[in-house]
Structure 1
Amino acid sequence: MSFRDEVEDGRGDLRKPFLHTGSWYRMGSRQSSMTASAQAIRDSSISVLACVLIVALGPIQFGFTCGYSSPTQSAITQDLKLTVSQFSLFGSLSNVGAMVGAIASGQIAEYIGRKGSLMIAAIPNIIGWLSISFARDSSFLYMGRLLEGFGVGIISYTVPVYIAEIAPQNLRGSLGSVNQLSVTIGIMLAYLLGLFVSWRVLAVLGILPCLILIPGLFFIPESPRWLAKMGMTEDFEASLQVLRGFDTDITVEVNEIKRSLASTSRRTAIRFADFKMRRYWLPLMIGIGLLVLQQLSGINGVIFYSNNIFESAGISSSNAATVGVGTIQVIATAVATWLVDRTGRRILLIVSSAGMSLSLLVVAVAFFLKGLVSADSTLHGILGILSVVGVVCMIISFSLGMGPIPWLIMSEILPIKIKGLAGSVATLFNWSFSWAITMTAPLLLAWSSGGTFTLYTVMCVFTVAFVAIWVPETKGKTLEEIQFSFR
């Protein structure tokens, strides 16, 4: 029985996408001639890039949420009379909301499509920012942060999966890294705008990415692999055609996707017993491991509370230093986006985690020595500068590999049959550890800055070993080839 016959037999059970773009791309793919104004969309790179730039608004929202707490800490604490513990709770609640969003993300994306999932994620983000902007006490702050986190939890899973499923194999690494690049842009915007506007106005500005994302979703095609899995063969082929260009022969790619799905279409329900099979447990373990180690590096503790870290290091203009770090992070992530399809995933992960280990060790030593010298001495000032340099190098190293690549690899290696459930589990682990790091960072820094960075150093050293032993190279392979390699 062919793939087409199988899906037609079960057509009554098929689920329809939440957002349907209509027939514009189906019509375009069948026309023998195009107008000059539509000529650009014939180029597959331009077509895919347009889709990536639209969904990248989601990660920008993600980054804005992460960066919001740093420039606003002093103002919110003073205006609403919050304690350090209360603000720490506020900062970490986005991770709690993201955990809930992560649990739902895979099933939502599987049931109503990738675009519908992003539409649903945008709504609580908008409500959450409004709640924070008009807050008069901590309860509205907490509610808004939870709602933001829920939306971000869905975005963090759906965007990398959508990009991986639409990108051609030779561009998948670079385009997949745009996800993390957008996160860093969102963080930088929060830092930068926080210098000039109040925390309430900054919350209102946080709505803008989602307000642009919602209409943008109506102008891009749904993931062809999701459409194929749902049995919508005509939409699947039309979506793939517009993504690859109307003049491109997509026969080989269509047949590869169909063959891959045909091997798993006999029984669509996934059971926990299936995870005993190597083809399922190994990619899930690698995906969870990378996303957990990404957080155990302490990156969110550094980003969320960078102002406090710079103040502890003796930097007077900590806000300006934070903006500088955000800018450096964007540049470094852009470099990683350019490198990932040239050097490969594994080498960037190893270089990144090794660089983080050395940088964090420098910061830890600097903070330990600062406690042993006089605050008025020249050495004290030098050690403060050294600790800032170490933090900056740590963020650069993170951005070169451990920032963008774990999400990219997770979206590449998970088989389509278990992607919804396994993706939710991996994303949940990521946000659970993100919450733990965010919640404990200010307390650990108050206990011992040197001790905190020593702990982060140990985890980065472990990451080097994990990548060297377990993580496969996915550069230049189709998603179907990657999945077959685990069998």
Structure 2
Amino acid sequence: MTLVSQSNEESTCERPTSKYAQYTGVLAATLAAFSIGTYLSWTSSALPLYNKNDTLSVSDQEGSWISSLVPLGAIPITIPAGMLADKFGRKRTIWAITVPLFLCWYIIAFAQSKIWIFLGRFVAGAACGAASVVVPMFTSEIAEQSIRGLLGTIFQLQITAGILFAYATAFTDNLHVIAILCSVAPALLLISFPFVPESPAWLVMQGRKNEANDVLKHFRGAHYRTETELTRLELQASEMREAKASIFDLRKYQKAICITLGLMIFQQLSGVNTLIFYAKKIFDDAGSTLSSSTSSVIVGAVQVVATYCSTILIERAGRKLLLFISVSVMATCMFTLSGYFHFQNSHDLSSVSWIPLLSFAVFIVIFSIGFGPIPWLMVGELFTNNVKSAASAATAICNWTLAFLVTKCFQDMVDLMGISSSFATFGVISLIGTVFVSTVVPETKGRSVEEIQIELYGTQISSIPRETDPEV
């Protein structure tokens, strides 16, 4: 009886007594994600205002460059960002990233020529790309296992909240005010983040065990017994040093790479970023009875709610089922938008002017519970720990590159074939995506990495011969 009581007491002492510090740390760090959301959707509110400004008017082609420079700037920084975080620490890297996230709003707000707008958007894009790598890394490393999944979803939730915020600023009808309001999030991060401790995992990797012990007590509670978790972190650090993989080692994971990159391709070629970047313009062209600003805010609010609800659905439903439903409905929404714009010029559609808003909202909802979060989730489920970092970098580069191409080419598509055919093209790509999900993507829910590898390769990846083996 005494032994049982003692064991229970020790177990209780090992459990964290408070999660408050973890939540506040994650909420502070993900203000960078909020800022990413504002940079992504700022063009929806701002570009129409530039066209009202005779001193700094923006053509459609220039507008497409302004929109696409954020994802373009993110591409080259994706891999170096992880290296910088390993060298200088997660905390200092995030704080350094926040400086351009803050300053670029003022470059954009008070730009006297378009070249400064282009420069501000490109530099901000580089900061967004770095934040998309380092902030999730920091979040996963300060969170305890029982709430790691929940805290991990806050990053995406903050992006959608930032998108909604930027849509809402359109009501000010002032370019300076929009930019200054959007600068509040990175300003709060600059002020608050010095008070957030460094990642304990990084401190252990640097051999600073005593500091890691203090940080764990900060994040877990003063009475938390840190020995077990410190030992686990030391073991993980040792394994990472011994088995750290480069992006070239992904050649042994060809099927997993095809699946993750395929999902990223269909995610971006679904046209989601064109809807986010050009929401206000699309609603203006659709002639909805609601104002374009109101419609954009409604869609942004729906996206925030859907992203929050997606965390529950992803844990309860299979990944493959959600992906299939998501891509099928996305195709239907795009074909509906295409049909509306096709018949708009030849028929009176005033009685059904709600169709674009409904299609837009349904698309965003279904994207947020399927093709938005799940492709990123699959990266963690298809690869072993030693290559997850390389796999994440490869998929992030693919994602940002496609986001740039789709955003930049959308205006060219509209000029070449019209907005109706452009939406139809996105719909056809999503239809092809349903075939890809049905035939190529495995179900990963409730299965270990080893079980998934056996399904994909017929054996565990560790037993697959390396290129240095004699038989290869």
Same fold, judged at TM 0.5 (above): yes
Residue pairs, 1:190-339, within 5 angstroms: 190-248=166-224, 253-266=229-242, 268=244, 270-271=245-246, 274-278=249-253, 284-316=257-289, 317-339=291-313
Alignment match, 1:435:
404
Q: Secondary structure at the match of 2:241?
A: coil
Alignment match, 2:122:
146
Which of residues 163, 167, 188 is equivalent to 2:164? 188
Paired with 2:205 and 2:256, the residues of 1 have a C-alpha distance of: 20
Paired with 1:276 and 1:67, the residues of 2 have a C-alpha distance of: 36
- AA in 1 matched with 2:426: Y
Which of residues 375, 384, 390 is equivalent to 2:359? 390
Paired with 2:133 and 2:298, the residues of 1 have a C-alpha distance of: 28
Which of residues 365, 368, 374 is equivalent to 1:405? 374
Q: Are 1:456 and 2:426 an aligned pair? A: yes
Paired with 1:293 and 1:190, the residues of 2 have a C-alpha distance of: 26
Identify if the C-alpha distance between structure 1 residues 482 and 136 changes in structure 2 by more than 3 Å, giving closer, same or farther: farther
Which of residues 88, 99, 102 is equivalent to 1:126? 102
Alignment match, 2:135:
159
- AA in 2 matched with 1:388: L
Is contact 2:288–2:356 with CA below 8 Å preserved after alignment? no
Task: State the 4+ residue runs in structure 1 displaced beyond 6 angstroms.
Answer: 479-485
Paired with 2:413 and 2:339, the residues of 1 have a C-alpha distance of: 16
After alignment, is 468-477 or 77-86 more displaced? 468-477
Paired with 2:124 and 2:74, the residues of 1 have a C-alpha distance of: 8
The CA deviation string for residues 358-409 of structure 1, in whole angstroms up to 9 with x for no partner, is 22232223333435x33xx3xx234543233211110111112322333444
Is contact 1:52–1:175 with CA below 8 Å preserved after alignment? yes
Residue pairs, 1:25-64, within 5 angstroms: 42-44=17-19, 46-64=20-38
Identify if the C-alpha distance between structure 1 residues 101 and 115 changes in structure 2 by more than 3 Å, giving closer, same or farther: same
Is contact 1:177–1:405 with CA below 8 Å preserved after alignment? no
- AA in 2 matched with 1:194: A
CA apart distance, 1:91: 1.4
Alignment match, 2:414:
445
CA apart distance, 1:302: 0.5
Identify if the C-alpha distance between structure 1 residues 106 and 318 changes in structure 2 by more than 3 Å, giving closer, same or farther: same
The CA deviation string for residues 16-48 of structure 1, in whole angstroms up to 9 with x for no partner, is xxxxxxxxxxxxxxxxx9xxxxxxx8323x332
Q: Give me the identity figure in percent.
A: 27
Identify if the C-alpha distance between structure 1 residues 179 and 483 changes in structure 2 by more than 3 Å, giving closer, same or farther: farther
Identify if the C-alpha distance between structure 1 residues 401 and 246 changes in structure 2 by more than 3 Å, giving closer, same or farther: farther
Is contact 1:91–1:439 with CA below 8 Å preserved after alignment? yes
Count of paired positions: 440
Is contact 1:177–1:336 with CA below 8 Å preserved after alignment? no
Identify if the C-alpha distance between structure 1 residues 287 and 124 changes in structure 2 by more than 3 Å, giving closer, same or farther: farther
TM-score relative to the length of structure 2? 0.82
Is contact 1:260–1:480 with CA below 8 Å preserved after alignment? no
**Structure 2 unaligned residues grouped into runs of 5+:** 1-12, 455-459, 463-472
Identify if the C-alpha distance between structure 1 residues 212 and 297 changes in structure 2 by more than 3 Å, giving closer, same or farther: same
- The two structures, once aligned, show a CA RMSD in angstroms of 3.3
- AA in 2 matched with 1:452: S
- AA in 1 matched with 2:58: L
- AA in 2 matched with 1:128: C
Alignment match, 2:152:
176
Identify if the C-alpha distance between structure 1 residues 327 and 273 changes in structure 2 by more than 3 Å, giving closer, same or farther: closer
CA apart distance, 1:127: 2.3
Is contact 2:318–2:443 with CA below 8 Å preserved after alignment? no
Q: Are 1:470 and 2:445 an aligned pair? A: no
